[in-house]
Amino acid sequence: MIRVLLVDDQRLVRAGLRMLCDSAPDLTVVGEAENGQQAIRLVEQVAPDVVLMDLRMPLMDGTTATARIHASRPAVRVLVLTTFDDDDHLFPTLAAGACGFLVKDASPDELLAAIRQAAAGETPFSPAVLRRLVDQAVRARLGDAPAPSLPATVTAREREVLACIGAGLSNREIADRLHLGVTTVKTHVTSLLAKTGVTNRIRLALLAVQCGLVVAD
């Protein structure tokens, strides 16, 4: 059972999210908070697996709360759910330790899938948001620097998996595209992390673009 904490300053939004989560047999809502301060306290009290975090809230915003939760409970997965999907919100939130970023016009099925992906250690983004994030990161961090190269130990199949990560696909979507089992995909992702020395899936996606495996817009 995936334990979910809802954090949003709008009561109606929380009520809708609770109804949605309660409709799923593998999810349970263990608490609600209306600001970042309450969220931090509840994380310690109810030990959620996933926190659905709004960004703009009174007393303490979602980015600050995410950073403090990540510092004290790094195993807790913070999934941002917000109206604001611009780069000024994306980058600070990810730097604070959020594992994914969804906008509030996501479908119920997309949101439930994202919660499950977050709990499984994946990084849920819509492909469009991930592509914008990667493109901006390439422009901001690379400039005129030469493109990096992958270690010689990275296999052809791992390059295919890396390209799919750069395109924003989940492990299930990669498995379907490459006709592999999900467990096999997870093994390839783990191997890529070890061989490249990067620390998370977002950095793998960035590396895929930097290496030319995914064409940035």
* Residue among 187, 135, 189, 184 at smallest CA distance from 162: 189
pLDDT of residue 216: 47
Q: Does domain 134-210 have CATH number 1.10.1200.10?
A: no
95 versus 12: the higher-pLDDT residue is 12
pLDDT of residue 138: 58
Helix (H, G, I), strand (E, B) or coil at 101: strand
pLDDT of residue 215: 53
* Residue among 115, 156, 48 at smallest CA distance from 40: 48
Q: What is the pLDDT of residues 30-64, one digit of tens each?
A: 999 999 999 999 999 999 999 999 999 999 999 99
- Looking at residues 94-103, what average pLDDT do you find? 85
Q: What is the pLDDT of residues 173-204, one digit of tens each?
A: 899 999 999 899 999 999 999 999 887 777 78
Architecture of domain 2-124: 3-Layer(aba) Sandwich (3.40)
pLDDT interval class at 16 (50, 70, 90): very high
Domain range summary for the chain, segments of one domain joined by +:
2-124, 134-210
- Looking at residues 141-152, what average pLDDT do you find? 67
pLDDT of residue 157: 95
Compute the distance between CA of residue 155 and CA of residue 10 in angstroms, rounded to an integer: 48
Angle at 10 between CA 121 and CA 5, to 5 degrees: 30
pLDDT interval class at 88 (50, 70, 90): low
pLDDT of residue 92: 82
Compute the distance between CA of residue 100 and CA of residue 19 in angstroms, rounded to an integer: 22
Instruction: Tell me the average pLDDT of the chain.
Output: 86
| Distances in whole angstroms, Cα of residue 158 to Cα of each of 70, 76, 190, 212 | 30, 28, 10, 14
pLDDT of residue 75: 92
Tell me the backbone φ, ψ of residue 33, rounded to 5 degrees.
-135, 145
- Looking at residues 163-170, what average pLDDT do you find? 83
Pairing label, strands 50-53, 77-82: parallel
Contact 189, 201 (CB under 8 A): yes
